[in-house]
Amino acid sequence: MVRERVARERNLGRVVEFGCGTGFYTEVLACNADTVLATDVSSVMLDVAKRRVNARNVTFRVEDCQRTSLPDGAFDTAFMSLVIHFTVPDHAVAEMHRILRPGGTLIVVNLDPQALNGLARIRSLMRVVYQGVVGYRIKPPKRFGRNVVTEAQLAQLLGRSGFRVGSTETVRDSSRSSSIPVEYVRAAKT
Ligand SMILES: C[S@@+](CC[C@H](N)C(=O)[O-])C[C@H]1O[C@@H](n2cnc3c(N)ncnc32)[C@H](O)[C@@H]1O
């Protein structure tokens, strides 16, 4: 559903994607961009993305989105999906601000478990724990999840970091009440 939303973007210009992971969004971004620099802190994830993505206007590079080697004001659009909760959010957003040109667009796709209430919230938590144990078979790192930001916290963070939020859309899979909604936030560098 989020990928369909990304596909509706137009004229993204020079794009940098942070935490591209397996490249789930990279090719869709590339269809609507002049160039895409797809980055991730993990070279292993980038290797998977390189095998998946077959677009001539995409290049790949290892970068930590909290402190990149990218020049100031070099990009028209920065995109990050399901990454901010792995970072110190203030640091990541400050870095987005630095590398975007004035008026450039930041698109953040953000998980918001707090948007669920009651039983749906409990069920989603149980599903996350179950998937972690059965699917990934690793213990989550200490204090994992402490940097998850709610919609309101993200809006405040963007505001105090020099962005003006243009729109926030909630993407929700209504077929399962415990699916965690995500926000699709577009903001402009002021
Ligand atoms: C949940 S995956 C999301 C991947 C992709 N954006 C998507 O939505 O399908 C999170 C990705 O963020 C990357 N990541 C985590 N911390 C990062 C950081 N500080 N800088 C850049 N990438 C990071 C991880 O390596 C992983 O590939």
* 150-161 confidence digits (pLDDT tens): 999 999 999 999
Q: Which residues approach ligand 1 with their CB closer than 6 A?
A: 18-21, 24, 40-42, 45, 64-66, 81-83, 86-87
pLDDT at 140 over 70: no
pLDDT at 99 over 80: yes
- Report which of residues 140 and 102 the model is more confident about: 102
Report the pLDDT value the prediction gives residue 179, as an integer from 0 to 100.
Answer: 84
Q: What is the mean pLDDT of residues 123-136?
A: 81
pLDDT at 108 over 80: yes
Residue nearest to atom 11 of ligand 1 (CA): 19
Report yes or no: 93 and 66 within 8 Å, Cβ to Cβ. Answer: no
